[in-house]
Amino acid sequence: MTHEERLSQLARRVEELMEEHRVPGVAVGLIVDGHEHVITRGVTSVEHPLPVTEDTLFQIGSTTKTVTATVLVRLEEEGRVDLDAPVRRYLPDLRLQDPSAAEGVTVRHLLTHTAGWAGDYFEDTGDGDDALRRYVEGMAQLPQLTPPGTVWHYNNAAFCLAGRVIEAVTGQTYETAVRELLLEPLGMEQSFFFPKEVMLRRFAVGHVVMEEEQVVVAHPWPIPRSSNPAGGLASSVRDQLRYARFHMGDGRSDAGRQVLRPESLRRMQEPVLEGADGQQMGLGWMLRDEGGLRFVQHGGTTNGQCSTFWMVPQRRFALTVLTNCDRGHGLGDAVSAWVKEHFLGVVASEPQPLAVSAGEAARYAGRYRSPVVGQVYELLWTGDGLMLQVHPGDLSAVSSTPPPPPPPMPVALIGPDRIMITEGPYKGIRGEFLRDQDGRIAWLRMGLRLHRPEARQD
């Protein structure tokens, strides 16, 4: 089958998935054998619909974290940042709830999700140039869950602090520094942080699927400026492919400018430590080995928009999927699986549920709560198996149109202290129980976050 035939089949598959997941608009970009291919379908908004084009701007969410990491690696090359230095070398006034963490946390900890404090902190500190400074001051209230460098758990706040380090080192705002050090050198002319820039171009708004499958526009559109280093970039599918080419290349831009040394790019894509669910962590990038290939990846979620981004540098292959719906990750995951199978010959094998006794499975039942946001994963033993009920917690800081809670979903044990959701909107999501030195469950790590048992488990 030719690439053109595969692309035609992929376009039909995208259309099917849009209907299945109720996604209004999609932009898919691939790099295959050095050639770019783009598929766009649907509309930017159900209220004021315009066709999605290759220049439409979507919020890429947490893929922005890799941008923040790339800028810090460039500053390291220039001798202006030491990734293994304490953050206090650059921000002497840093205050955290745990004084020893404030003293010992390094820049590398920030970029590898091992800083240890509760990471889902989305305080809106205004639109001024002091937004990040004020945000970092507020981090003193965040509970320290684990000592720096010990346990991997997803940390938005750490990347906001990393953005503040960029400001301290460059003497510029985070957004200006990123534009001058990365976006402009790479020719990413369709990538922006500020709504006043985005609104002059065609852009997608987020959507939420409510009861009875009604699709509504998500409010608000922008995320707080203080969260820009963790997830604030809006970009086009073409710019995302340009970004992929750079990270798969030799450190030069399309115009031939040497932005990073090749060895620095490769170092970002090398494992630093074990992450969640079999993933490894590089510098800003999450890594997964499948079918003899290393996938270098990072997706993102904002209010009603979801993005997928991964590369296989050894094959010069990349995929980005930009969607404007809170169910977009389901579409992105399905497109990823189709592309991996039909273009790379990689078919993921799903783990098989274990046959375990009722008593063994029931021991995991209980409520597990995340700090700050207060999301609760409630595992219920029904007599026939485990069911998961998700209580989303307080999302008012990020959305005034939150989606309804998902229905209870069946959960299976797939290994020692490992579970997977087997049906429902979160199908395929996996979790791990982390134990303390006495063998008791200390955390449920699910959705990449740590959730503490409300009642200590045996």
Angle at 182 between CA 176 and CA 186, to 5 degrees: 130
The catalytic position among 8, 45, 62, 226 is: 62
Instruction: Report the run of H or E that residue 237 belongs to, with start and end.
Output: helix 237-248
Distance of CA 190 to the CA centre of its chain: 21
Residue given tokens 């229905």 in the structure block = 407
Instruction: Respond yes or no: is residue 399 known to be catalytic.
Output: no
* Alpha-carbon span 196 to 288, nearest angstrom: 37
User: Which of 286, 261, 260 lies closest to 271 in space, CA to CA?
Assistant: 286
Angstrom CA distances, 177 to 184, 239, 341, stand at 10, 18, 39
Angstrom CA distances, 393 to 221, 369, 372, 398, stand at 20, 9, 9, 12
* Alpha-carbon span 28 to 10, nearest angstrom: 10
- Written as six digits, the tokens of 426 are 């979160």
Asked if 436 and 442 count as a contact pair (C-beta separation under 8 A), the reply is yes
Instruction: Report the run of H or E that residue 360 belongs to, with start and end.
Output: helix 358-362
User: What DSSP letter does each residue of 149-169 carry, written as one string?
Assistant: TT-----HHHHHHHHHHHHHH
* Alpha-carbon span 382 to 127, nearest angstrom: 49
- Residues with active-site annotation: 62
